[in-house]
């Protein structure tokens, strides 16, 4: 740590005033919490998901906090839309300091043999192909500007897969690998890190079997699911100067759930055991 950073206060280290963050999958669940946290820390926000009405509603919330906001509909699995998103962020807000690759989908299926080529391609496109392209495009601009931070949202399913999330787990394992590769490609100007999420109580949690999840949660060291702001706080750490000496890191924010899953999947607690949502694109 430099002598300059030693002299800075914690509030200064986490301050994002004057910076612009692009957040995908930003209109509900963990993405919406990330938007609120980054805006509260001072960032202007590009709010992106597939539905423009939802983007506009979330962007208005950012504006009420006194920050600038751009609502932009984007299907991250389509590279032409990724290019338009990055271009619009620069044109409207002038820069990208932070990219949060949060959009993701994990469709359910009855058995691995029932996974169609269409489903496989769709899951890989949103969870891996899109983050690759957005990171490549935004990262090059960050390097040219001299600084930046890319934060990927992965899942503990990437290291503890179960039978019902195999394509999703494979994509998230790839996202973990992208983190290390892009950290190497864009360093030292740009840092690239991942938050590996466990089960969180977002709107999707309403579909959980509460009794079964409570039984499973008793095996977690923290004995519960997380609140969304417990993940968005980790995103803020990676987005801000507080993590100035951290890159290529994959941080588990899961209450210790990954270790309780070492023996295999959970049939009763529901298919959302890993990160509390099936579709956040």
pLDDT tens over the chain, length 281 residues: 454 546 899 999 999 999 999 999 999 999 999 999 999 999 999 999 999 999 999 999 999 999 999 999 999 999 999 999 999 999 999 999 999 999 999 888 999 999 999 999 999 999 999 999 999 999 999 999 999 999 999 999 899 888 989 999 999 999 999 999 999 999 999 999 999 998 887 765 555 556 666 667 677 777 777 888 999 999 999 999 999 999 999 999 988 787 765 544 443 344 445 555 456 66
273 falls within a domain: no
**Residue 226 is encoded by which pair of tokens?**
């997380």
Q: What is the CATH number of the domain that holds 128?
A: 3.40.50.720
Cα–Cα nearest to 98, from 161, 164, 26 = 26
- Give the pTM: 0.90
The pLDDT of residue 182 = 98
266 falls within a domain: no
Q: Alpha carbon of 123 to those of 35, 65, 92, 95, 272: distances in Å?
A: 24, 34, 30, 29, 16
- Kindly provide the b/e burial profile for residues 233-246, where b requires at least 16 CB atoms within 10 angstroms of the residue's own CB: bbbbbbbbbbbeee
Which domain covers residue 36, as residue numbers?
3-260
68 falls within a domain: yes
CB atoms within 10 A of CB 156: 25
**How far is residue 227's CA from residue 222's CA, in Å, rounded to a whole number?**
12
158 falls within a domain: yes
265 falls within a domain: no
211 falls within a domain: yes
280 falls within a domain: no
Catalytic residues: 168
Spatial strand order of the sheet with 148-155 comes to 69-73, 44-49, 20-24, 98-101, 148-155, 190-197, 250-253
Residue 59 half-sphere exposure toward CB, CA atoms < 13 A = 20
State the pairing for strand pair 98-101/250-253.
unpaired
The pLDDT of residue 267 = 39
The pLDDT of residue 256 = 79
79 falls within a domain: yes
**Count of domains for the chain:** 1
The pLDDT of residue 144 = 98
């Amino acid at each position: 740590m430099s002598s300059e950073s030693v002299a800075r206060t914690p509030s200064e280290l986490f301050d994002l005033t004057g910076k612009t963050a692009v957040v995908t999958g930003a209109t509900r669940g963990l993405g919406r919490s990330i938007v609120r946290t980054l805006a509260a820390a001072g960032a202007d926000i590009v709010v992106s998901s597939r539905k423009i009405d939802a983007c506009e509603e979330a962007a208005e919330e950012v504006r009420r906090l006194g920050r600038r906001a751009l609502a932009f509909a984007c299907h991250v699995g389509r590279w032409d839309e990724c290019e338009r998103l990055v271009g619009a962020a620069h044109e409207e807000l002038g820069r990208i300091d932070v990219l949060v690759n949060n959009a993701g989908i994990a469709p359910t299926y009855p058995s691995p043999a029932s996974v169609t080529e269409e489903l496989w391609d769709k899951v890989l496109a949103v969870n891996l192909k899109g983050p690759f392209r957005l990171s490549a495009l935004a990262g090059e601009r960050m390097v040219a500007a001299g600084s930046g931070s890319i934060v990927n949202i992965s899942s503990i399913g990437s290291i503890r897969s179960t039978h019902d999330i195999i394509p999703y787990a494979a994509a998230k394992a790839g996202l973990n690998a992208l983190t290390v590769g892009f950290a190497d490609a864009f360093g030292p100007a740009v840092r690239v890190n991942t938050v590996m999420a466990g089960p969180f109580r977002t709107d999707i949690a309403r579909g959980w079997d509460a009794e079964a999840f409570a039984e499973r949660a008793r095996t977690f060291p923290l004995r519960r699911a997380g609140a969304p702001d417990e993940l968005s706080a980790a995103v803020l750490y990676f987005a801000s100067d507080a993590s100035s000496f951290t890159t290529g890191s994959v941080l588990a924010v899961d209450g210790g759930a990954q270790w309780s899953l070492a023996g295999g999947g959970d049939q009763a607690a529901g298919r959302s055991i890993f990160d509390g949502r099936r579709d956040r694109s």
